Amino acid sequence: MRRYIREWDAKRAGKKDGRKGYPPPEFDGSNGRYSDFEKQVSDVAERDIGRVVGRWRSEETQVLKELKTLVPELQVSFRRFQEQLEVHRQRFGRDVAPEPPHRYGKAFLILLVLLFLFEGGVNIWTFRFLREPGITTVFIGLALAFLIPFAGFRIGRVLKGREKPLEWLLAIFLFVCAVLLIVIVAHGRKIGIEVRKLDPRVVEETFWIFLLMNAVFFGIALWDGYASGYTHPRLQKAYEELRRRKRQYENRIARLNDAFIQAITETRGILSAAQSLSVAYREANRRARGNVPTNELPEYFKRDFELPVQLPPEIAQYLGEKDPVSSYRSTLMNDEAVRDGRRLISQIDNALESVRP
C-alpha cells in the first residue's frame, strides 16, 4: 500500500485540497461523499487486498488438489502397515512393534559413500602394476570399491534382521561376486608380473595393502549395515512410510493455515495503512483551512471516519471473527479430502499409540 501512496503524499494532497475548501461541508463520508484522494487510497487498498486474496486462494486450491491425491495414498499406507503388523505378530509374537527411527540414518549412508570413494582411490593406487591408470584399472578399482562395502553393508543388515531368506541370497551373491573379482584381479596381477617382468616383492607388498584395506572396509561396512538395520525391516518400512505420509498431510494442512494467516495479516495491514493515510489527509486538510468555523468543515471530518474499502467476500467473512483461524479450520472441514484426512489421521494416531516403540 505504502509503496504507491506515502504519508507525505497524503499530507500534500490534504494541504492542497484544504486551501481550496475541498471537500465541501455537505460531504458526510457515505455513498462516495468523501475526497478524491481518499477514493484513490481506497481503490489502491482494494487492488492490493485483491492480490493478497488471489495468492491465498491459489495456494489453497493447489494444496486441496494435492490432498485429494495424498489422502488415498495415506489410506493405502495405513492399510499396508496394519497388514504387516498383523503378519509379523502372527509370526514373531504379539509383542512385535516397529522400532524408533534411527537418529543418524543419513550418516550411515554418507559413511557408505565415503567408503566407496576412499576405497576406489586406494584400489586404483594399488593397481599401479598396469603402469598407467587406464580404463581397466579404474573400472576394477571402482567395481571392488562398490561390491565389497555394499556386500558388507547388506550382510550387516541381514544379520540384524529376522526376515532373512531372500536377503541372505542377495548378500551372499554380492559377497561371492566380490571374492571372484578379487581372485580374477590376483590372477591378472600374476600374469602382469610375468609379462612385464616386474619386481615380485613390490607387487606382493601392494597386494597385501590392497587385501588389508578391503578387509577393513568390509568390516566397517558390515558394522554400518548392522547398526543402521532393523529387526523387522518390512514392518519398519511400512511404519516409516506411514509416518512420512502422515507428515505430508500435516504439512499441507499447515500450509493452508499459514497461507490464510498471511492473507489475514496482510489484509489487516493494508486496511490499517489506508486508514492512516486517510487520517493524515484529513489532519493536513484541516490545518490548511486555518481557523474556520466547525460548520464549514466536511461533515465526516467531525467524527471518527473509517475509510470504506470493498473487501472480497472470501476474506471479509473472517475479518470480524475473534478467532479467524479457528473459523477457517471449521470451514476447511467442508472439503471432503480434508475431512477424510482428519478422520484417517485420528485412526492412525490411535494405531501408532498402541504400538509406540
* Tens-digit pLDDT profile for residues 235-284: 999 999 999 999 999 999 999 999 999 999 999 999 999 999 999 999 99
Question: Phi/psi zone of residue 197: left (φ > 0), alpha (ψ -120 to 50 degrees), beta?
Answer: left
Residue 306, pLDDT score: 93
Residue 193, pLDDT score: 60
Residue 198, pLDDT score: 60
Contacts of 48 (CB under 8 A, 6+ apart): 1, 270
pLDDT in tens, 195-218: 666 666 666 666 676 677 777 777
Dist CA 54 CA 24 (whole Å) = 37
Residue 126, pLDDT score: 61
Residue 130 has pLDDT above 60, yes or no: no
Residue 311 has pLDDT above 80, yes or no: yes
Q: Which residue has the higher pLDDT, 71 or 233?
A: 71
CB 232 within 8 A of CB 96: yes
Residue 223 has pLDDT above 70, yes or no: yes
pLDDT in tens, 144-162: 777 777 878 888 877 787 7
pLDDT in tens, 319-339: 988 899 999 999 999 999 999
Reported confidence tier of residue 13, pLDDT bands at 50, 70, 90? very high
pTM confidence score: 0.74
C-alpha cell at 313: 467476500
Q: Where are the domains of the chain?
A: 7-77+241-354, 105-229
Of 85, 106, 84, which Cα lies nearest the Cα of 94? 85
pLDDT in tens, 72-121: 999 999 999 999 999 989 988 888 888 887 765 566 677 767 777 776 77
